[in-house]
Amino acid sequence: MPRAGAPSRPLRRAALALDGRPSAARVLGTLRRPSARLFGALLVVALLAACASTDEQPTGEVKPLDCKEVEQRLKDDPTDVYAHYLLAHFLEDEQRYEQAIEEYGAAINLTERGTLTTPTLDLGKLHQRLGNLVAAERLYREVLGTFPADTRLFKQNPDYKDAALGLKPILEARGDAAGVEQLGASYVADFGGTKGGWDKGPPWMKKPGDGAPVASATPAAARS
C-alpha cells in the first residue's frame, strides 16, 4: 500500500535488506556519538536512495529480510529494537494498524529515552494518518523535545523537520497561529528546512479517498 511521502517499496526493501543488520542507533535517528555514526547513517541513506529507482531486488551481498525472518529474530531476541521497528513497518504496509502501533511502541519502550527519534516519529505519523491527533501531537512534541548532545544534529537528523511538519496542521486546526509561526521559524532556522518545504506541509498525509488510513480504523486501546 504505497503512501504519499513514504519510501517506495524498492527503497523499503533495501532498508530492510542490509545484510549484517545495522544497529538500531545507526538507522533510527541516533542522538549519541554523532560524528562517526552520522557519516555511517548518511552512507546508508545514499545507498538506499540508489536502490529507490528500481523495482529489482538488491543483489550481491544484500539479502532481503521478510516478515517471517523478522519475527524469528524477535523469537530469538525479544529485545531487538530494530526488529520491532521493521515488523511495525511490515504490519503498517499490510494495514494491520493495531499491531503496527504495538510494535512501534515496543521499539520505543525498549530504547533508552532520549537516544532515538525515528520510532517515535513514525508512530506519530501513523497516528496522524489514523486521525489520532492527540497522540500524534504528543509524539511529535516528544521528538522535538529530544535534545541531542551535539546540536548540529538538529539540522542533520531529518526527524526534527518531519516532526515539525506533522505538528503544523494540528496547530493550524486548533487556530494556534502563533504556535505555527514559531514552529515555522524553528523549521528553517534550527532544523535546516526551507520555506518551500514548510509551506507544502507533511508529505505523508493523503487527501480523502486516496487509500490513506481513516480514523475509524484506530484501535480504542492502542498504545499511543
* Across 25-47, average pLDDT: 40
Determine the pLDDT at residue 11.
Answer: 30
> What residue numbers bound the domain in which 178 lies?
9-217
Return the ∠ at Cα 16 (arms to 128 and 156), rounded to 5°: 65
Percent pLDDT > 70 in the chain is 62
Question: DSSP string of 22-72?
Answer: --HHHHTT--SSHHHHHHHHHHHHHHHHHHTT--SPP-TT-----HHHHHH
Q: Rounded to 10 degrees, what is the CA torsion of 69, 53, 4, 159?
A: 70
224 assigned to some structural domain: no
83-87, 197-201, 206-210, range with the lowest pLDDT: 206-210
Determine the pLDDT at residue 10.
Answer: 31
Chain mean pLDDT for the chain:
73
8-17, 73-82, 121-130, 188-197, range with the lowest pLDDT: 8-17
3-state secondary structure (DSSP) of residue 173? helix
1 assigned to some structural domain: no
Task: Look up residue 139 and give its amino acid.
Answer: L
Q: Which three cell numbers stand for residue 110?
A: 525498549
First-to-last C-alpha distance (Å) of the chain: 23
Domains of the chain: total: 1
33 vs 164: which has the higher pLDDT: 164
Ramachandran class of 197: left when φ > 0, alpha when ψ lies in -120 to 50, beta otherwise: alpha
Q: What is the pLDDT of residues 54-65, one digit of tens each?
A: 233 333 444 556
Determine the pLDDT at residue 36.
Answer: 33
223 assigned to some structural domain: no
3-state secondary structure (DSSP) of residue 169? helix
What CATH code is carried by the domain that includes residue 146?
A: 1.25.40.10
100 assigned to some structural domain: yes
43-52, 101-110, 143-152, range with the lowest pLDDT: 43-52
222 assigned to some structural domain: no
102 assigned to some structural domain: yes
